[in-house]
Chain A
Amino acid sequence: MPGKLKVKIVAGRHLPVMDRASDLTDAFVEVKFGNTTFKTDVYLKSLNPQWNSEWFKFEVDDEDLQDEPLQITVLDHDTYSANDAIGKVYIDIDPLLYSEAATVISGWFPIYDTIHGIRGEINVVVKVDLFNDLNRFRQSSCGVKFFCTTSIPKCYRAVIIHGFVEELVVNEDPEYQWIDRIRTPRASNEARQRLISLMSGELQRKIGLKVLEMRGNAVVGYLQCFDLEGESGLVVRAIGTACTLDKLSSPAAFLPACNSPSKDMKESPLVHPPSHGCRSTHNSPIHTATGSRLTQNFSVSVPTLIYTGMGSGSAGKEGGPFKALLRQQTQSALEQREFPFFTLTAFPPGFLVHVGGVVSARSVKLLDRIHNPDEPETRDAWWAEIRQEIKSHAKALGCHAVVGYSESTSICEEVCILSASGTAAVLNPRFLQDGTVESCLEQRLEENLPAGCGFCHIPYDELNMPFPAHLTYCYNCRKQKVPDVLFTTIDLPIDATVIGKGCLIQARLCRLKKKAQAEANATAISNLLPFMEYEVHTQLMNKLKLKGMNALFGLRIQITVGENMLMGLASATGVYLAALPTPGGIQIAGKTPNDGSYEQHVSHMQKKINDTIAKNKELYEINPPEISEEIIGSPIPEPRQRSRLLRSQSESSDEVTELDLSHGKKDAFVLEIDDTDAMEDVHSLLTDVPPPSGFYSCNTEIMPGINNWTSEIQMFTSVRVIRLSSLNLTNQALNKNFNDLCENLLKSLYFKLRSMIPCCLCHVNFTVSLPEDELIQVTVTAVAITFDKNQALQTTKTQVEKSLQRASTDNEELLQFPLELCSDSLPSHPFPPAKEHLESASSNSGIPAAQRATSVDYSSFADRCSSWIELIKLKAQTIRRGSIKTTVTVEKASPMSEGNFRNRSAPPCANSTVGVVKMTPLSFIPGAKITKYLGIINMFFIRETTSLREEGGVSGFLHAFVAEVFAMVRAHVAALGGNAVVSYIMKQCVFMENPNKNQAQCLINVSGDAVVFVRESELEVVSSQPPTANCQSSCPGGDVTT
């Protein structure tokens, strides 16, 4: 099925001076697609040439259309010597291949040279004529839409969510080919850029084919990564979730829906009536006996240290996966899928039934040369193994699926750590087979599961738990069991009931490692891994408790391998889920009694910790209502006994914890500071400084507890590299350095963005790499979003949180409050507002104030292994969530004037010749409605310099490069007709320097979804008072759901 690609070169501007004599340039353009090349005329002596060329036409197969990038090269004509290249533009024409996306690519593109950076701009128009009709077209993979967004894109509706798709392609890295010794760095870089572009296209096409075989029409949560394996090659791999999406046909009809919560309300019958039922029926008692020791839901699974070369197990991979999937589809049995994985982190209502906990697997591999690029069996087998392990972990948790799934690698020389992680979950199978969502939803309704806490209920059998855990009845519905802590890799479900605000929690860890070669090295790493995982986990637990919270969302644990060390960085967003028990405190126990000063020290530390917990509770507004005894009613003795039973069974030896048991109700998470390590732990706990007033941060899409975003957003990337003093490096010093690096980086961000206060850093994404022996590189990408403090002051209590969470505007949300307040909050008033804060939201849920304790289960730890499961679960219940009230602190400018200021500065943008393109790692734009997805942006750039000092050193070099990458992304989006990139991610930023040679090189890979958005204020008829307009539309929505 051929198509015709048409390209027109219009003009250039700001070209560099190529002829020193005349201070001018004689520029012409080569347009290349596949093996065909066209040239424009030479436009003599101008830095702003007007070529206005004819239409260059390429007749090509659609396979090529998908794989190949359009390559535009601008050159300076030279009569006597070779023409000098000015730079290139690569244009991915994929967005033109599906009908709903862009129809033309037209605009100014920066002309990019890998040595000189951006050198002027060129205006290009690209069109594609496809010769086939849509039906025939469907037979190829061209029509499949790709989204980086890890939720169902706005303005689409999921008809079926088919499941996991994956693919990888391998090739030799041009940088390591023999020819690289004789060609110029520019030629080498360009060969690499082009190859990766080709491989990405091929990969996308192959994934598209799989999706079509599954009868899907889109891939959501598409994540494509490069593994630069050096000598052994270049791997491009991708995972995603195949779906069948329906475009919401008439946007107008959904207008109130799309831009705000009300949409979800209307569409999802799942939103349950205010959980009066739950409330009334469960007068369950506080678990007075819960004082018993707690174990962490933590276990380490069997070792999976495998060296390279074991290719078995990949059999059937070639044709297998999707065929199998097809079969399964008809069987509609999720359990039988090869990999029931989903890369989504947010789901349609009703999709997620229970969450088991985090499952992860890692394995250490030795790389060797990929002998046959067409048969990437080894890499496939490696991943298949890991996925298999994940699947079995999930099964152990009583879950048949894994959501929020992702894969990553860390490579150092020939050692490679493969990691996969996700959240074990039980899903509603009706989404996974044919049939409309509506019917699913109806069914779902009949089942009548409690919303808001259902996902916290444990999916596994209580008597047969995969790990020791402490269970209680759900604090919301009191019907089902919940764990005491829940860790997940997904976003906070929109219907979850949260008390207070969330915060970014990070665990940071370094471990020195001896330099070693090959297998010895791999063994050393595998031996270290479980200890790192364990410590990272302990740190997370401690920090979570220190914050007075009980659940982690968006957990991402990154283990990075270097020559002589391993680094672990875990980031997550801590929240207090109303359905889970109140976390206990942290208790410090000294191991050397009878030492007066020591005891004093211990008690001093204890006091500090207690103070911090109290301070954090206030800071994050965690005020779970104390439940009085009458409401709580009588205890449920039976479960307690059961859990005891279980405990004794599962723990062979744990004297200490048993002892703790005897401490009675008041126990807490015990930290024994018997050695310096533990001291260090305690210190590091206390060194984390909370963000300055007016700032919040999280690594999830939105900040739990804040929902009144205003429209100002600032996406940024920050990179830091520190050099460690090589002398006498100890683990301790290393940890401190790393900790300081991260903390200082955060402090700098807060300082830089201070003008946006009150604001929240969302989707904070840290990436660690170890480019050289003594260098640590941390890259952070996040978006700062302002919110309206005044509106936040109002108590917002809605049972339809889901909507609030995703909500882009605050206005509509506000409108709902009155409504809900009458229906719900009034009854809830029995609990008087705490201090300045109205806690109406959580008041309905009976949250016992029981103190709980946890301790670590060391028993399972003896396994020497390289992978583990970590799981924790939880439950939350009421649909209503804690209100957002905020801060009594007196801050400067009134929101009103700030608002005005923003408004004032916005309109002039329209006059600018360069359209503003917003970028955000989130899937939405606050205060705006996404009306169209234009296609995926997936770009790879290399920049190299041989005059590092002249370009301002490493910082100057990288600063300019990152700015150029942003510029090129924006230009491509603008040329597609878009005005924003959502779900933007910088997947790779590999920086190498050689200051002695005055050289540096950097590779950056970014992706995202190009979209068109419309400001809500522009949509509204009544611009000055949007709330009034919306009230009408959203209120009925609210009614329907209740």
Chain B
Amino acid sequence: MTNELDIFVGNTTLIDEDVYRLWLDGYSVNDAVALRVRSGILEQTGATAAVLQSDTMDHYRTFHMLERLLHAPPKLLHQLIFQIPPSRQALLIERYYAFDEAFVREVLGKKLSKGTKKDLDDISTKTGITLKSCRRQFDNFKRVFKVVEEMRGSLVDNIQQHFLLSDRLARDYAAIVFFANNRFETGKKKLQYLSFGDFAFCAELMIQNWTLGAVGEAPTDPDSQVDDMDVDLDKEFLQDLKELKVLVADKDLLDLHKSLVCTALRGKLGVFSEMEANFKNLSRGLVNVAAKLTHNKDVRDLFVDLVEKFVEPCRSDHWPLNDVRLFLNQYSASVHSLDGFRHQGLWDRYMGTLRGCLLRLYHD
């Protein structure tokens, strides 16, 4: 006796959160059944393995049918086939678009192309995440990217509107899209210590301050296509950053800057002597990073450069985080007192964001 056909359809679609998780994690029906058996559900409910198998199959079929709708979440809200309470709909969407930290670190900043998709095998082996789940996550990134890539307006809002994600998740996706678009390198060995959260934090700051959308708070020309793009860095701004070079190229200016910082921090910094010794190096590093951002190649290496030029030197001298904060604050602020320097606004736009990023990046 074999079950040829076995279905259960409720007027309200039954969603089992545990099975949904197993499905999202890419387990086959048999693996999922085995995992559920291990969870002790049989003992709790007195069910048999056959019942569990049938139940799991049923849920998997439902999820499979829902998947098409989950690709465009607003469809899930308007469709008529599955009657699902809104709270459940939100759960379905949120979980479907959730991603694994380990996975996102592997693809963050990579081009979301077929080529990358081919590498998913390796990522799966490396992270222990099933290939199926990797594909889902990758496809989610790509889908969101495609939809919002060319859109104007706030990136987070666009994502929220088209994918109905929670604020948090939408911000994460904004970071992913931003990184994918600008192809920031995140995979280098020296960047391995950074979490997705670190990058997402930086991405948010950069989106807020360094993109076209950042300046175009109130676009004068509503028809302008470039006005309000959150995804691309403001090219003009990056060009202008060259002007900052004077801070290190002009020796007087550099000395003055150093003395201003040292005067202000004397006695307040545990690592004062190290700072004093390293000031010029650090400043050169930070300013050169800015100056190089005109080249796409260097934009991609932004995080590598920041870690190499600033984080690592400080870390090797064992700066406490608080000293880093004090230093960066003073370093940014002192520029205002440099009479010969005319790019205060530019400096603030650059350094304000960079300071935030560096503080976030500065940890073990």
For the complex, what is the distance from the CA of A906 to the CA of B85, rounded to whole Å? 8
A720 near B45 (CB under 8 angstroms)?
no
A722 near B3 (CB under 8 angstroms)?
yes
Which residues from A are CB-within-8-Å of B80?
Answer: 108, 110, 118, 121, 914, 967, 970-971
Contact of B65 among A744, A911, A959 (CB under 8 A): A959
- In the complex, identify which listed stretch (A197-205, A258-266, A372-380, A950-958) lies at the interface while the others stay far away: A950-958
Contact of A13 among B5, B10, B78, B86 (CB under 8 A): B78
B7, B75, B82, B86 pick with most chain A CB within 10 angstroms = B7
For the complex, what is the distance from the CA of A918 to the CA of B14, rounded to whole Å? 14
A955 near B57 (CB under 8 angstroms)?
yes
Given the known interface contacts A719-B7, A952-B64, the answer about A963 and B82 at a Cβ–Cβ threshold of 8 Å is yes
B9 near A717 (CB under 8 angstroms)?
yes
Closest to A777 in B: B5
For the complex, what is the distance from the CA of A954 to the CA of B6, rounded to whole Å? 9
Contact of B8 among A718, A722, A754, A918 (CB under 8 A): A718
For the complex, what is the distance from the CA of A962 to the CA of B11, rounded to whole Å? 10
Which residues from B are CB-within-8-Å of A914?
Answer: 77-80, 83
For the complex, what is the distance from the CA of A931 to the CA of B334, rounded to whole Å? 76
B1 near A963 (CB under 8 angstroms)?
no
Chain B positions 1 through 37: 1 when the CB is less than 8 Å from some CB of chain A, otherwise 0: 1111111111111100000000000000000000000
Which residues from A are CB-within-8-Å of B89?
Answer: 912
Contact of A962 among B7, B51, B55, B85 (CB under 8 A): B7
A817 part of interface (Cβ distance < 8 Å):
no
Q: How far is the CB of B71 from chain A (nearest CB, A)?
A: 13
B75 near A14 (CB under 8 angstroms)?
yes
B61 part of interface (Cβ distance < 8 Å):
yes
A991 part of interface (Cβ distance < 8 Å):
yes
Closest to A109 in B: B80
Which residues from B are CB-within-8-Å of A912?
Answer: 77, 85-86, 89
For the complex, what is the distance from the CA of A912 to the CA of B5, rounded to whole Å? 33
A908 part of interface (Cβ distance < 8 Å):
yes
Q: How far is the CB of B15 from chain A (nearest CB, A)?
A: 10
Which residues from B are CB-within-8-Å of A955?
Answer: 5-7, 57, 61
Q: How far is the CB of A451 from chain B (nearest CB, A)?
A: 37
Q: Number of residues in A with C-beta < 8 Å to the partner?
A: 59
Which residues from A are CB-within-8-Å of B62?
Answer: 959
B277 part of interface (Cβ distance < 8 Å):
no
B220 part of interface (Cβ distance < 8 Å):
no
B47, B50, B82 pick with most chain A CB within 10 angstroms = B47
Chain A positions 720 through 746: 1 when the CB is less than 8 Å from some CB of chain B, otherwise 0: 111111000000000001001100100
A752 near B14 (CB under 8 angstroms)?
yes
Given the known interface contacts A909-B85, A963-B81, A964-B81, the answer about A716 and B1 at a Cβ–Cβ threshold of 8 Å is no
Q: How far is the CB of A653 from chain B (nearest CB, A)?
A: 42
B48 part of interface (Cβ distance < 8 Å):
yes
Q: How far is the CB of A913 from chain B (nearest CB, A)?
A: 6
Which residues from B are CB-within-8-Å of A967?
Answer: 80-83
For the complex, what is the distance from the CA of A331 to the CA of B52, rounded to whole Å? 62
Given the known interface contacts A14-B75, A121-B80, A716-B9, the answer about A723 and B61 at a Cβ–Cβ threshold of 8 Å is no
A289 part of interface (Cβ distance < 8 Å):
no
A176 part of interface (Cβ distance < 8 Å):
no
B51 near A775 (CB under 8 angstroms)?
no
A751 near B10 (CB under 8 angstroms)?
no
Given the known interface contacts A917-B83, A958-B7, the answer about A14 and B78 at a Cβ–Cβ threshold of 8 Å is yes
Which residues from B are CB-within-8-Å of A966?
Answer: 9, 11, 83
Given the known interface contacts A751-B47, A908-B85, A914-B78, the answer about A715 and B4 at a Cβ–Cβ threshold of 8 Å is no
Which residues from A are CB-within-8-Å of B58?
Answer: 752, 959
A692 near B46 (CB under 8 angstroms)?
yes
Which residues from A are CB-within-8-Å of B52?
Answer: 751
For the complex, what is the distance from the CA of A954 to the CA of B61, rounded to whole Å? 12
Given the known interface contacts A908-B86, A964-B81, the answer about A959 and B7 at a Cβ–Cβ threshold of 8 Å is yes
B54 part of interface (Cβ distance < 8 Å):
yes
Q: How far is the CB of B78 from chain A (nearest CB, A)?
A: 6
Closest to A740 in B: B1
For the complex, what is the distance from the CA of A525 to the CA of B234, rounded to whole Å? 85
A916 part of interface (Cβ distance < 8 Å):
yes
Q: How far is the CB of B160 from chain A (nearest CB, A)?
A: 16
Q: What size tier do the contact residues of chain B reach?
A: 35 or more
A740, A962, A966, A991 pick with most chain B CB within 10 angstroms = A966
Q: How far is the CB of B67 from chain A (nearest CB, A)?
A: 12
Closest to B80 in A: A967
Q: How far is the CB of B91 from chain A (nearest CB, A)?
A: 11
A428 part of interface (Cβ distance < 8 Å):
no
For the complex, what is the distance from the CA of A737 to the CA of B89, rounded to whole Å? 39
For the complex, what is the distance from the CA of A971 to the CA of B81, rounded to whole Å? 9
Q: How many residue pairs, one in A and one in B, have C-beta atoms under 8 Å apart?
A: 139
Contact of B5 among A720, A744, A751 (CB under 8 A): A720
Which residues from B are CB-within-8-Å of A911?
Answer: 86
B225 part of interface (Cβ distance < 8 Å):
no
A716 near B10 (CB under 8 angstroms)?
yes
Which residues of B (56-75) have their CB < 8 Å from a CB of A?
A: 57-58, 61-62, 64-65, 75
Closest to A717 in B: B9
Chain A positions 903 through 929: 1 when the CB is less than 8 Å from some CB of chain B, otherwise 0: 001101101111011110000000000
B316 part of interface (Cβ distance < 8 Å):
no
Which residues of B (303-329) have their CB < 8 Å from a CB of A?
A: none
Which residues from B are CB-within-8-Å of A963?
Answer: 9, 13, 65, 81-82
A692 near B77 (CB under 8 angstroms)?
no
Closest to B90 in A: A908
A678 part of interface (Cβ distance < 8 Å):
no
B1 near A725 (CB under 8 angstroms)?
yes
B54 near A748 (CB under 8 angstroms)?
yes
Q: How far is the CB of B110 from chain A (nearest CB, A)?
A: 27
A724 near B1 (CB under 8 angstroms)?
yes
Which residues from B are CB-within-8-Å of A964?
Answer: 81
For the complex, what is the distance from the CA of A975 to the CA of B171, rounded to whole Å? 39
B113 part of interface (Cβ distance < 8 Å):
no
Which residues from A are CB-within-8-Å of B65?
Answer: 959-960, 963
For the complex, what is the distance from the CA of A725 to the CA of B8, rounded to whole Å? 24
For the complex, what is the distance from the CA of A14 to the CA of B76, rounded to whole Å? 11
A747 near B51 (CB under 8 angstroms)?
yes
Which residues of A (737-780) have their CB < 8 Å from a CB of B?
A: 737, 740-741, 744, 747-752, 754, 775, 777
Q: How far is the CB of A807 from chain B (nearest CB, A)?
A: 23
Q: How far is the CB of B41 from chain A (nearest CB, A)?
A: 9
B87 part of interface (Cβ distance < 8 Å):
yes
Which residues from B are CB-within-8-Å of A692?
Answer: 45-46
A970 near B83 (CB under 8 angstroms)?
yes
For the complex, what is the distance from the CA of A742 to the CA of B12, rounded to whole Å? 23
A714 part of interface (Cβ distance < 8 Å):
yes
For the complex, what is the distance from the CA of A754 to the CA of B62, rounded to whole Å? 18
Which residues from B are CB-within-8-Å of A954?
Answer: 4-5
Q: How far is the CB of A766 from chain B (nearest CB, A)?
A: 14
B8 near A715 (CB under 8 angstroms)?
no
For the complex, what is the distance from the CA of A909 to the CA of B77, rounded to whole Å? 11
Given the known interface contacts A692-B46, A747-B47, A914-B77, the answer about A718 and B9 at a Cβ–Cβ threshold of 8 Å is yes
For the complex, what is the distance from the CA of A722 to the CA of B79, rounded to whole Å? 33
Which residues from A are CB-within-8-Å of B64?
Answer: 952, 956
Closest to A14 in B: B75
B55 near A718 (CB under 8 angstroms)?
no
Q: How far is the CB of B6 from chain A (nearest CB, A)?
A: 5
Top 6 closest pairs, chain A to chain B, by CB: A721-B5, A908-B86, A716-B10, A962-B9, A721-B4, A715-B11
A108-B80, A912-B86 provided; 19 other pairs, C-beta below 8 A?
A14-B78, A721-B6, A722-B2, A748-B8, A748-B55, A749-B8, A751-B55, A752-B8, A908-B85, A914-B77, A916-B85, A919-B11, A956-B64, A958-B5, A962-B9, A963-B81, A964-B81, A966-B11, A967-B81
Q: Which residues of B contact A (CB under 8 A)?
A: 1-14, 45-48, 50-52, 54-55, 57-58, 61-62, 64-65, 75, 77-83, 85-87, 89
A sample of 11 cross-chain residue pairs with beta-carbon separation below 8 angstroms, ordered by A number, consists of A110-B81, A692-B46, A714-B12, A716-B8, A716-B9, A721-B6, A725-B1, A908-B86, A908-B87, A916-B85, A971-B80
